[in-house]
Amino acid sequence: MSNSERPQGGGRPTVGPEDVQQTLPTGTGRPGFSGAVRRFRFTVQEGPQPGFVKDSNADTFSIGSHALNDLVLDEPTVSRFHCEVKIDRDGARVRDLDSRNGTVLDGVHVREAWLRGGSVLRLGRVSVRFDFSAESNRLLISERGTFGDLVGNAAVTRASFALMERAAASDATVLLEGETGTGKSRAALAIHRASARASGPFLTVDCGAIPGNLLESELFGHEKGAFTGALQRRVGAFEEADGGTIFLDEIGELPPELQPKLLRVLEDREIRRLGANTYQPVNVRVIAATHRDLRAEVNAGRFRPDLFFRLAVVRILIPALRERPEDIPLIAERILASLGAVPEQTEALRTPEFIAQLQHAAWPGNVRELRNHLERCLVFQDAMPPLSEEVSPQGVLRGMVDPKLPYAEARRRALEAFEREYLDALLKLHGGKVSQAATAADMDRVYLYRLLRRHGLRS
């Protein structure tokens, strides 16, 4: 978000820290037990139902033509999921969700921008006015600082824990959303283990790592002779997970031809193996996860809106690490303990100075990147600062760029040099184990092999 998009008038957002309150229960000594955010409202000025007013009831508020939105606008020029407003201690922001006609704030097209009282949003042929309310909305915050393997005391973390607790107490389908490396798979396992299905199986299917032509058989199974090479019957993941939970990771990568088949499973709780003529019931709880915003995928026509509706019964956002730096000391302690290092090895990694460096880093790879960095520090027995602080961007690029070359050629050579350096360091870090390296880099193993061969690092 650019500075020019912040509200004017002293450079301060319309909403500040006083608009996000946290209160402590007596005797807990833990921050963020309960919280509140300032309420806001939208008033339709032009379009369907002029004068209609809708108040927020949480810290996020979505607008669009789909029934899942907080403000539903039945207008063809409004996308199914057009935009979303989020309020926090920094202010109230609007973010366009890759809508067809874009989001216009006070006459300016924006991707993401700060809102102020009286701002007008134009969505297609509809205009709505944004205003703050005097009241506040209470936020659901867990009393716990842990949930399964997840730890954290930040308000955003414990807000996600509260939703996980409620999800675990039901059999509802759950959609986990969050950036790569935030811990969505750990959250799914924690929900399963806290549920009534804990004694049943927990199966994971990575929809982004399995080729589309094999994924259907992986999910639903096949009969003998269903296709060339099907020499015997195979039971799919849904059948194997009967009585337990199936975790569909990277559900946003599910091929379009499989989306209606998954929808039927969610609606009717029955599956049909490839090559079979009949359906059979399955007793399984579905948890899905994605690093994509499926609402934008729905707008783009890549994801079925009815499937999103069925998956998003309980939506839980796993916050990025940069949104909760106060959790980093707890997470780092948990990681170091899991690595099995002796106290002498980790002493330098527990100093206030080193922890402060960790808290000020960006961590685009989130907890996964933090774990890799701490493991690297242990290997080299050195409390190295995060990569973003070790070298400047200019230092990284120095020697890669030749200004005498045409731009396209200079860019190609720089990218090739970066790829080779990264892949070489990645393999060394993981002892040449490609599968382990692919997981750490959040990369498909087949694609990693292809890159390694391209750069001559594997035959």
In a domain, 296, yes or no: yes
Residue pair 452/443 in contact by the 8 Å Cβ criterion: no
Q: Are residues 98 and 165 in the same domain?
A: no
Q: Quick check: 315 pLDDT over 60?
A: yes
Mean pLDDT across 111-132: 96
Q: Are residues 156 and 279 in the same domain?
A: yes
Q: Are residues 164 and 306 in the same domain?
A: yes
Q: Are residues 171 and 247 in the same domain?
A: yes
124 or 33: which leads in pLDDT: 124
What is residue 50's predicted lDDT score, i.e. its pLDDT?
95
Q: How far apart are CA 300 and CA 29, in angstroms?
A: 47
In a domain, 301, yes or no: yes
Q: Quick check: 21 pLDDT over 70?
A: no
Structural domain total, the chain:
4
Of 317, 339, 355, which residue is a domain's last?
Answer: 317
Q: Quick check: 32 pLDDT over 60?
A: no
Mean pLDDT across 149-168: 95
Q: Are residues 48 and 116 in the same domain?
A: yes
Residue pair 183/150 in contact by the 8 Å Cβ criterion: yes
**323-365 residue pLDDT tens:** 999 999 999 999 998 888 788 888 889 999 999 999 999 898 8
Tell whether the torsion through CA atoms of 54, 56, 61 and 67 is positive or negative. negative
Mean pLDDT across 363-375: 91
Q: How far apart are CA 400 and CA 407, in angstroms?
A: 13
Backbone angles phi, psi at 377, to 5 degrees: -60, -40
Q: How far apart are CA 307 and CA 336, in angstroms?
A: 40
Of 266, 293, 317, which residue is a domain's last?
Answer: 317
Q: pLDDT band at 400, cuts 50/70/90?
A: low
Q: Which amino acid is at 29?
A: G
Q: Quick check: 95 pLDDT over 70?
A: yes
* pTM of the full structure: 0.75
Q: How far apart are CA 295 and CA 458, in angstroms?
A: 39
The CATH code of the domain that includes 48 is: 2.60.200.20
Q: Quick check: 246 pLDDT over 60?
A: yes
122 or 409: which leads in pLDDT: 122
Backbone angles phi, psi at 135, to 5 degrees: -85, 170
Mean pLDDT across 35-50: 92
Say how many CA atoms lie within 13 Å of 47 toward its Cβ: 24
How high is the mean pLDDT of the chain? Answer: 85
What is residue 294's predicted lDDT score, i.e. its pLDDT?
95
Q: Quick check: 101 pLDDT over 80?
A: yes
Q: Are residues 155 and 111 in the same domain?
A: no
Q: pLDDT band at 190, cuts 50/70/90?
A: very high
**191-205 residue pLDDT tens:** 999 999 999 999 999
Residue 23: count of CB within 10 angstroms of its CB: 12
Among 19-23, 48-52, 140-144, 432-436, where is mean pLDDT lowest?
19-23
Among 149-158, 309-318, 440-449, where is mean pLDDT lowest?
440-449
What is residue 378's predicted lDDT score, i.e. its pLDDT?
87
**285-312 residue pLDDT tens:** 999 999 999 999 999 999 999 999 999 9
Q: Quick check: 421 pLDDT over 90?
A: no
The CATH code of the domain that includes 152 is: 3.40.50.300
Q: How far apart are CA 418 and CA 90, in angstroms?
A: 36
Of 282, 301, 317, which residue is a domain's last?
Answer: 317
Q: Quick check: 23 pLDDT over 80?
A: no
Q: Are residues 159 and 65 in the same domain?
A: no
The residue segments making up the domain with residue 112 are: 36-138
Q: Which residues contact 411 (CB under 8 A, 6 or more apart)?
A: none
Mean pLDDT across 355-384: 88
Among 132-146, 228-242, 285-299, where is mean pLDDT lowest?
228-242
Q: How far apart are CA 315 and CA 131, in angstroms?
A: 26
